[in-house]
Structure 1
Amino acid sequence: MFDPDELEEIRESKAQWEEDDVQPTVDRFGERKETFTTDTEGHEVDRLYTPADISDLDYEEDLGFPGQEPYTRGVYPTGYRGRLWTMRQYAGMGTATETNERFNYLLDQGQTGLSMAFDLPTQMGYDSDHAMAAGEVGKTGVAIDSLDDMETVFDGIPLDEVSTSMTINAPASVLLAMYIAVGDKQGVDREELRGTIQNDVLKEYIARNTFIYPPEPSMRLITDIFEFCAAETPKFNTISISGYHIREAGSTAAQEIAFTLGDGIEYVEAAIEAGLDVDEFAPQLSFFFASYNNIFEEVAKFRAARRLWAKIMDERFDAQNPKSKQLKFHTQTAGSTLTAQQIENNVVRVSYQALAAVLGGTQSLHTNGKDEAIGLPTEQSVRTALRTQQILAHESGAADTIDPLAGSYYVESLTDELEAEARELIEEVDERGGMRRSIEEQWVQRQIQDVAFERQREQEAGDRIIVGVNEYQVEEEGEQDIEEVDEAVEQAQQDNVATVREERDDEAVEAKLDALRGAAEGDENVMPYIIDAVKVYATTGEVCDVLRDVFGEYQPGSSM
C-alpha cells in the first residue's frame, strides 16, 4: 500500500523525532510505565504507530471491502447502516412464567432478540425433581422440564417475529426440539424459525464442565443437528462456537481466537466425516466471543478472527459458498471484569466493552447488568444495560460507518499480530492431533490456566490496576438491591413436572422414548425422534436418560 522510499523516509523521520522531541521529554518528565502492553497478550505497545508498522499490508488481500473476502471489514456490505446489531439481553428467571414476564418486559423496552439462560439442572439434563437438582432449580436461569415449560416461556411471543438464542450445550438437541415443537403448535413454518443454540460441547470440556456424554456421541448429536436444521430450519444457527467461556476462564485474546476456531475446525471435520457437504451446513455456524476492556485489542481480535476463519474455510475445506466463510458472531461483555466493589463502575466497563464489540462488527450483543458480580440482574440494571446499547446505536455515531478503525496504524498492526499468533496456536493444535486430542491431554486447559494465574498475580501485586478493587477503593458502600430466586420456586417446579407426568399419555411417552433409543443405538438422525418425544411431554431428564443409557456419561480424566 505504501511506496518503499516513502516508508524509509517515515522511519528516518520517526527516529529523528524520538531523538529530538521524545527523549528530552522522557528525560525530564518520564512516562507512566517503563513498558506498555496490551491487556491480555503482553505484546508491547509502541509509543507511536506509522505506515512503517503495516508496510506489508495489502488492501485487497488483507482488508478488502465489507461483505467481500476476507471479511476483515465485516460480513455485510452495509454494516449497521442497513440494520443494527441484534440487542439480545440474556435472561432466565427461575420459573417459566417469570421468564416470560422478563422477556415481555425486555421486548417492550426495545430489545430486538431473546437470549435464554437455563438453570444448572436443565444444563445437565436433569428434571427439577431429580436428586442432583436439589438446591439448584431456577438459580442460574429458567428450569425447563418439559414442553409445558417451553410453551409458558413463549406464551404470547410469536416465534416467526422474534429471534431466540439458547445457551444450552449437552442437552441442546432436546431444548431445540422443544422450541421447534412450540413453533409447530403456533403454526409457524419451520423455515421461518430464527435463532441460535450454543451446542458447543468441546468448550465444556475446556472451560465450563456442563457436559453429559463422552465426546464421540456428543459430536454425533451435534452433526445430527447440523443435518436436520440444514433441511428443516435453514434460518436457525445450529451452533454458537464459544470463545466467550474460554476467555472468561482466563485466556488471552489470541488464545480465544485460536481455540474457538480450533473447535470450529473440529466440528466441520466431524460433519464432513458424517457425510455432510460443507456448504450445506457451514452457513449455519455462528460464533460467540467476549468483549473486554482494551478497546483496540478487542476490535483487532474480532477483525483477525473474521479474516482467519475465511482463510481456514477456503484453505482447509475448499468452501465455495461465500456464506460458509463468513464468521458471524454474538458478543457478550465480560462477566469476569465486573466487580462487587463500587458496582456503578461496571456500567462504565460494560459501555466500553459494548463499544469495542460494535466497532469490531458484532452481529448481536448482550450487555451485562452492573450487579451480575453479586447476583441475578435486577429489572433496573437490565434496563440500564439495554439502554447502553440503544445509546450506542442511536447517539454515539459508532454505527454510522463500517469498520471505522480500519486504517489505524495501531489497529491494523495489532490485527496482524493477533492473527499470526492465533494461526501459530492452531498449527500447534494440529501438530498435537487436533482440538479433541489437545483437550484430552489437558494442553489447552494448561495454556489458559497459566495466563489466568499470571493475571491474578499481577492484580495482587498491583501491576494490573482494577479500579475500586486494588486502587481507588472506598471504605463504605451503600446497600444494593439483589435479585434473588424464591426458595419456593423449586417446589413449584417439582409440582409442575409431577402434574405434567400425571396428565400426559404415558404409553405414548414410552413408545416415543423407545423409538428414540432405537435411533440412538443405530445411525439414524435422532432429531425427529426427540421432537416426537417432547411433543408427547417426555421430560428433559427422560430424553437425556435414554441417551445416557445408550451413550454413557463422560467422566473427567477418562479418555475422550
Structure 2
Amino acid sequence: MSKIELDDPETLQNEIRDWEQREVKSFLGKQKERKDQFYTSGGFPVKRTYTVLDVKDTPVEDVGLPGRFPFTRGPYPTMYRSRHWTMRQIAGFGTGEDTNKRFKYLIAQGQTGLSVDFDMPTLMGYDSDHPMSEGEVGREGVAVDTIADMEALFDGIDLEKISVSMTINPSAWILLAMYVVLAEKRGFDLNKLSGTIQADILKEYMAQKEYIFPIDPSVRIVRDCITWCARNMKRYNPINISGYHISEAGSSPLHEVAFTLCNLITYVEEVTKTGLAVDEFAPRLAFFFVCQNDFFEEIAKFRAARRAYAKIMRDRFGARNPESMRLRFHCQTAAASLTRPQYKINIIRTAFEALSAVLGGAQSLHTNGMDEAFAIPTEEAMKIALRTQQIIAEETNVANVVDPLGGSYFLESLTDDYEKKIFEIIDEVDKLGGTIKLIKESWFQKHIADYAYDTAIKKQTGEKPVIGVNKYVEPEEKVDVEIHPHDETTAERQINRLRRVRKERDNAKVSALLDQLVRVAKDESANIMPLTIELVRAGASMGEIVEKLKKLWGTYRENPVF
C-alpha cells in the first residue's frame, strides 16, 4: 500500500521542534494550558496540534474516496448532494390510533421516515391484558397485540413511499410478520417496502436487558429473519445492529462500535451456516449508533466503523459485492446527554450531536426532544428537534461536500486509532471464545459497567462538566415544562380491541397453528417466519405466540456482574 508521501519529513520534524521551543514555550511561560494532558471522552490522548507527520503511516487507500472500499469517507459517492439523510423522528404512545396521529403530524412537518417506539409489554412479548402489563400499556411506546393494532398504527400511510423503522428486539420477528401481513392486505409489493426491525438481540444481553428466551434460540430467530427477508423483501433491512443501547448503558464510544461489530460477526456466521452466501444478505444489514457530545471523536468513530466493517466483510467473510462491505447506519443523538436542569439547552446539545452525525455520514437521523429527560416528547419539542435537522440540511451548506472534514490530520489520525483499537478488541473476543460465550460470562457487561462507573465518578467530581448539573448550576431554577399527558383510557381501549379480535377469529385454527409453531421451533434448521406470518394473519396475538415458545425454550436469566 502507498503511504501519504512527505518530501522532507525530517525538515518538518525540525520545524515542529523549533516551534515548540520558541512560540509554544514562550506562550506557556505567560499562560499555562488548561490541563497537563487532554483526552477524548473515550480516553484517547489528544495532542496540541496535528500535522502531516501524524498520518504518514496511513495508507492512502484507507482514506480513499466516498462510495469506494473501504468506505471511510461515506457509503455513497455523492452522499447528501443527491439526497439528504432520512429525517426519522421516533414516535410511539397509547394505541395505534394515537401514534398514527403523531406520525401524520411529523410527516406534515417535513419528516421523511417513520420510527416506531413500542411500550414495554409489546417489547417483552406480553399481551396488554397480561398481569405483567398493568400500568404499562401505551405508557412509553405504542401498544401492539395483534394485526388490528398495526392496521390502526399505519392507517392512511403509504408503506411503499416511506420507510419504517421498528425499535423492537426479543419479539421483533412477530412485528415483522404483522408488517408483512398488513402490507399484503393493502396490496403492497413486499420488494418495494423499505425500513427495518431492530432485532439485535445480542446487544440486549450485553446492555439493554430486554430479552425473553435463552441466547441460542434468540439468535436462531434473528437468523430466520435475515434469511427470510433476503428471499422475500429485497429492500428491507431485517436487522439494525445497534451500538446505541450499548452506549446508553454506559459504554465507551470505542466499546460501542467494537462490541457492535462483534455482534455482527456472530450474526453473519449464523446466517452463512444455513448455506446462504454472504453477498445474498449482507447488502441489507444495517446499523444504529449513538452520537455523543465529543464532536470530532464521534465523527472519527463513524468513519472507523465503516472502514472496519468493510475489511471484516471482505477479508473475514469473503464478500465480493461492494454493497456487502458498505456500512449504512441510523443515528440518534444521545439521550444520556439530556438534562432536566436548564432543559432548554438540550436543544443546543442535540444540534451539535446531530451535526457530527451528519459530518460522520449518517443515512438517517433522530434528534432528541428537549423534554425527553422528563417524558415522551411533546409535539412542540419534536418539531424543534426536526427543525434542527432541517436547518443543518437546508441552511448550513455542510451537506454540499462529501466528507468535508476528510483529510484533517487530527480526524484521520483519530480514525486510524479507532480502527486499530476496534480490531484489537475483536481479536481478543475471538481468542477468548467468541461473543456468545463472553456474554454468558458477563465479559461485555463488565466492561460497560466499569466505564459507566468511571463516567459517573467524573461527573460527580466535576472532571466531566455537565452544564446546569455540575457547572453553571442554577439552584433556584423553577422548571416550567409541558409534559406529554398519558391518556388513562389507553389500557381499556387497547384491551377491548384485543378481546374483540379473540372473539371474532377462528380460535381452533389459531390453536392448531400454535401447536405447529412448536414443531417448527423444535427443528433448528427450519425457518420460523412463514408460520409466524400465518399465525398473525389468523389473528394470533403476540403474547400467545411468545407464551407458547416460552414453554419450549424457557426464559433467560443473566449472571449479574458485581
* TM-score where L is the length of structure 2: 0.97
Separation (CA, whole Å) in 2 of partners of 1:92 and 1:209: 20
Moved more, 22-31 or 291-300: 22-31
Determine helix, strand or coil for the equivalent of 1:115. Answer: strand
Separation (CA, whole Å) in 2 of partners of 1:524 and 1:21: 70
Determine helix, strand or coil for the equivalent of 1:456. Answer: helix
User: What amino acid maps onto 1:141 in structure 2?
Assistant: G
Alignment partner, residue 159 of structure 1: 159
Separation (CA, whole Å) in 1 of partners of 2:559 and 2:490: 35
Alignment partner, residue 498 of structure 1: 499
Alignment partner, residue 146 of structure 2: 146
Moved more, 272-281 or 333-342: 272-281
Q: Does 1:396 align with 2:396?
A: yes
Alignment partner, residue 510 of structure 1: 511
Alignment partner, residue 316 of structure 1: 316
Superposed, 1:17-416 pairs within 5 Å as 17-39=19-41, 41-59=42-60, 61-416=61-416
Separation (CA, whole Å) in 1 of partners of 2:233 and 2:349: 37
Q: Does 1:16 align with 2:18?
A: yes
User: What amino acid maps onto 2:505 in structure 1?
Assistant: R
Contact 2:247 2:253 in 1 (8 A): yes
Determine helix, strand or coil for the equivalent of 2:161. Answer: coil
Separation (CA, whole Å) in 2 of partners of 1:371 and 1:419: 35
The offset of 1:335, in angstroms, is 0.3
Alignment partner, residue 519 of structure 1: 520
2:554 is matched with which residue: 548, 552, 555?
A: 552
Separation (CA, whole Å) in 1 of partners of 2:418 and 2:348: 26
User: What amino acid maps onto 2:534 in structure 1?
Assistant: D
Separation (CA, whole Å) in 2 of partners of 1:401 and 1:153: 38
Separation (CA, whole Å) in 2 of partners of 1:406 and 1:11: 23
User: What amino acid maps onto 1:556 in structure 2?
Assistant: E
User: What amino acid maps onto 1:34 in structure 2?
Assistant: D
Moved more, 357-366 or 477-486: 477-486
Which deviations, in whole Å up to 9, do the C-alpha atoms of 1:472-522 show, x marking residues without a partner?
111223411011322221222122211211122212222322222222122
Moved more, 268-277 or 114-123: 268-277
Which deviations, in whole Å up to 9, do the C-alpha atoms of 1:302-338 show, x marking residues without a partner?
0000000000111111111111111110000000000
Separation (CA, whole Å) in 2 of partners of 1:511 and 1:156: 33
Separation (CA, whole Å) in 2 of partners of 1:185 and 1:162: 17
Contact 1:7 1:55 in 2 (8 A): no
Contact 1:158 1:186 in 2 (8 A): no
Aligned length: 556
User: What amino acid maps onto 1:147 in structure 2?
Assistant: I
User: What amino acid maps onto 1:524 in structure 2?
Assistant: A
Moved more, 549-558 or 182-191: 549-558
Determine helix, strand or coil for the equivalent of 1:344. Answer: helix
Separation (CA, whole Å) in 2 of partners of 1:328 and 1:159: 21
Determine helix, strand or coil for the equivalent of 1:196. Answer: strand
Gaps of 5+ in 1: none
Alignment partner, residue 437 of structure 2: 437
Q: What's the % identity of the aligned pairs? A: 49
Determine helix, strand or coil for the equivalent of 1:116. Answer: strand
Separation (CA, whole Å) in 2 of partners of 1:44 and 1:173: 43
Separation (CA, whole Å) in 2 of partners of 1:53 and 1:185: 58
User: What amino acid maps onto 1:9 in structure 2?
Assistant: T
Contact 2:351 2:388 in 1 (8 A): yes
Contact 2:441 2:559 in 1 (8 A): no
Separation (CA, whole Å) in 1 of partners of 2:282 and 2:555: 28
Contact 1:124 1:212 in 2 (8 A): yes
Contact 1:100 1:153 in 2 (8 A): yes
Separation (CA, whole Å) in 2 of partners of 1:110 and 1:348: 21
Separation (CA, whole Å) in 1 of partners of 2:559 and 2:24: 55
Which deviations, in whole Å up to 9, do the C-alpha atoms of 1:200-253 show, x marking residues without a partner?
000000111110111111111111111110111011001000000111111111
The offset of 1:2, in angstroms, is 4.2
Contact 1:93 1:102 in 2 (8 A): no
Determine helix, strand or coil for the equivalent of 2:65. Answer: coil
Determine helix, strand or coil for the equivalent of 2:88. Answer: strand
Determine helix, strand or coil for the equivalent of 2:13. Answer: helix
The offset of 1:539, in angstroms, is 0.4
The offset of 1:57, in angstroms, is 1.7
User: What amino acid maps onto 2:116 in structure 1?
Assistant: M
Separation (CA, whole Å) in 1 of partners of 2:510 and 2:281: 31
Determine helix, strand or coil for the equivalent of 1:399. Answer: helix
Determine helix, strand or coil for the equivalent of 2:303. Answer: helix
Separation (CA, whole Å) in 1 of partners of 2:397 and 2:56: 30
Separation (CA, whole Å) in 2 of partners of 1:10 and 1:405: 23
Which deviations, in whole Å up to 9, do the C-alpha atoms of 1:447-491 show, x marking residues without a partner?
111111111111111111100100011122341101132222122
Which deviations, in whole Å up to 9, do the C-alpha atoms of 1:310-369 show, x marking residues without a partner?
001111111111111111100000000000110111000000000000000001000000
Separation (CA, whole Å) in 2 of partners of 1:476 and 1:159: 45
Contact 2:241 2:260 in 1 (8 A): yes
Gaps of 5+ in 2: none
User: What amino acid maps onto 1:48 in structure 2?
Assistant: T
Separation (CA, whole Å) in 2 of partners of 1:547 and 1:281: 27
CA distance 1:478–1:21, change in 2 (3 Å): same
Separation (CA, whole Å) in 2 of partners of 1:485 and 1:496: 19
Separation (CA, whole Å) in 2 of partners of 1:114 and 1:281: 23
Contact 1:226 1:281 in 2 (8 A): yes
Alignment partner, residue 536 of structure 2: 534
The offset of 1:4, in angstroms, is 4.3
The offset of 1:116, in angstroms, is 0.4
Separation (CA, whole Å) in 2 of partners of 1:71 and 1:454: 33
Separation (CA, whole Å) in 2 of partners of 1:253 and 1:484: 34
Determine helix, strand or coil for the equivalent of 1:15. Answer: helix
Contact 2:4 2:59 in 1 (8 A): no
Separation (CA, whole Å) in 1 of partners of 2:337 and 2:199: 25
Separation (CA, whole Å) in 2 of partners of 1:439 and 1:14: 47
RMSD: 1.2
User: What amino acid maps onto 2:490 in structure 1?
Assistant: V
Separation (CA, whole Å) in 1 of partners of 2:370 and 2:435: 35
The offset of 1:6, in angstroms, is 2.3
Contact 2:442 2:559 in 1 (8 A): no
Determine helix, strand or coil for the equivalent of 1:332. Answer: strand
Contact 2:207 2:249 in 1 (8 A): yes
Separation (CA, whole Å) in 2 of partners of 1:78 and 1:2: 24
Which deviations, in whole Å up to 9, do the C-alpha atoms of 1:14-56 show, x marking residues without a partner?
11111101111111111222221101x2222111100011111
Determine helix, strand or coil for the equivalent of 1:30. Answer: coil
The offset of 1:65, in angstroms, is 1.1
